Structure 1
Amino acid sequence: MLIEEERLAYWINNFYGYGTWNARIWFIGYEEGGGDLPEEVAEKFNYLYNGHQTFSTLCDVREVYRHVAFRQSGAKANLISNHYEYRFDRSATLHGVWKNLIAFAHGYRKEALTDILTYQKEQFLLPDAGREALIKLYPLPCPHNHGWYYSWLDLPLLGFLKSRTLYEEHVYDMRIQHILENMSAYRPDVVLMYGMNNITRLKQSVQKFFPDVSFKMVKAIKQLMPQYHRADLGATTLLITTQLPALHHNRIETGFDWLQLGRTIANP
């Protein structure tokens, strides 16, 4: 399946993530996951291009995933046909990052955390529930190895895709402006930006949009709290951290207690 220039451009300009802007808790990841296979990327682009989202809305992750075929090998290869079944159906697998986002949300809402997988399947990011949104600072799906496969595409009108640096520079201002405008308009209770590697620039962008805001850095506590930068934007608490809510190379000593972080932010 070919990646078409017009559909890729439409994705860049319209895809901001999953859930609803009305959600009380926003998670903002550095970029959209996936991207190992061009077929998977093309299926996402095609879904959006066919009229399932506009600039002003977020996607329903369950509907997107129904349109993305499951191509991984392993024990579930013959049992699962698409990503919806992989993450939300009866044989769903717990997502390594989502489980910690779910824990953070439960901690912040002062809810008991019981069955994370059931919550992932039945409630996480449901647009109608308005509980969480998962937004992406950068839109293009990229694999965990951070490879930049888009440079191989022959897309004359999208020359900025020749390198990740050019791409990020090209889209950053538009996307952070739209995110901050919506943050001001919808006033979520808490926004957690995670896995960020451009902390200084992000803080400058926030302070340009909210001139009276200042940040406080909170130091890490090993295996308990990640280091993060906090700003209070009126009704919204903004957190920015370089940490990804997942274990690094599956080593337990690289993790943090995201449930406790949520509780701490709710009760500073």
Structure 2
Amino acid sequence: MLINEKPFLHWLTHFYGYGAWQAKVWFVGYEEGGGDLPEEVAAKINYFLDAHGAATAPELCDMREVYRHVPFFSDGPKADKFTNRHDYRFGNQAVLHGVWKNLISFEHGYRNEKLPDLLAYQKNSFAVASAQRQALVQLYPLPSPHNHAWYYSWLDLPQFPFLKSRVLYEKHVYDYRIKNILQQVVTHKPEVVLMYGMNNINALKLSVQEFFPDAKFKMIKAVKLHIPQHHLADLGETKLIVTTQIPALRHGRVETGFDWEAFGKSLR
């Protein structure tokens, strides 16, 4: 399946993630996950153009519908269990997502609500647009694998020279995307925005302060196995948290993790 210019450009310009801008809790990840195979990328962007082709503004979409259109690729023991990404994350034999489970814990801690069965919540409630509980936003739109490999330089799209490297791509899209995300903060006034896995903390803080001149960041030190180091700012009615930490264990090691429910509670 080829990656074509029109759906690629539409995704790059208009796709911002999943859920609802009206939600009170926003999670902003560094970039859209996946992207190991061009067939997966093509399936996502083609569906987005078909379903959201009339979009003229930053768009959040239905994650479950997107995932129905993305085939499940695997050579391992799971290969015969799932036909698409929806089955893998939301079906009867769904697998708990290593990041989402901690985002769910963070949200319930912040809301001072009892922690639910994490897998059941993922399957039935997480980032459901109509519920307007969460927005799952991506700072950078192109699906990219966790190893940060950069496959897009191989695309036959010479009209997009910024795809030659990750650095050029991020530089090309950063300004308009962070401004659009911050504008949505102004418009919808979420209670809390957690930006996680960010490796450009200083640039982000500068962008926020250019958009919100009165914003002042306070750095909160990490408490091992409890709360990650983070930068905190009040943006009027919105509390913004920026951290380099990803809500998942690194290499499966417990000593690299934090209590994301406790983190949420600490911000109430």
- TM bracket (short chain): over 0.9
Is residue 82 of structure 2 the alignment partner of residue 105 of structure 1? no
Correspondence 1:16-165 to 2 at 5 A:
16-52=16-52, 54=55, 55-165=57-167
**By how many angstroms is 1:57 displaced?**
2.7
The percentage of counterpart residues that share the same residue type is 61
The alpha carbon displacement at 1:74 in A equals 2.5
Matched, 1:14 2:19: no
- The alpha carbon displacement at 1:224 in A equals 0.6
- Deviation of residue 183 (structure 1)? 0.4
CA deviation after TM superposition for structure 1 residue 73, in Å:
2.5
Any conservation in 1 of the 2:58–2:180 contact (CA below 8 Å)? no
Q: CA deviation at 1:204?
A: 0.4
Contact 2:33 2:143 in 1 (8 A): yes
Match for 1:214 among 194, 203, 216?
Answer: 216
Return structure 1 stretches of 4+ with deviation > 4 angstroms. Answer: none
In structure 1, give the amino acid aligned to 2:157.
Answer: L
Equivalents in 2 of 1:43, 1:204: separation in Å? 35
Which stretch shows the higher mean deviation, 9-18 or 49-58?
49-58
Report the aligned-residue RMSD.
0.9
Aligned partner of residue 115 in structure 2, secondary structure: coil
SS of residue matched to 2:241:
strand
**Cα shift at 1:56:** 3.8
Q: 2: distance between equivalents of 1:95 and 1:200?
A: 29
Flag structure 2 segments of 5+ consecutive residues without an equivalent. Answer: none
User: How far 1:51 moved relative to its partner?
Assistant: 2.9
SS of structure 2 residue aligned to 1:166? helix
Q: Could you tell me how far apart the structure 1 residues matched to 2:101 and 2:88 are? A: 15
The one-letter code sitting in structure 1 at the alignment partner of 2:99 is V
Q: Is the 8 A contact 1:20 1:57 kept in 2?
A: no
Give ranges in structure 1 of 5+ residues lacking alignment. Answer: none
Deviation at 1:179, TM superposition (A): 0.3
Aligned partner of 2:194 among 177, 192, 203? 192
Matching residue's letter, 1:43: A
Measured after TM superposition, the shift of residue 148 of structure 1 is 0.4
Distance in 2 between residues matched to 1:52 and 1:69, nearest whole Å: 20
Structure 1 segment 228-243 matched on structure 2, within 5 A: 228-243=230-245
**SS of equivalent residue, structure 1 residue 128:** helix
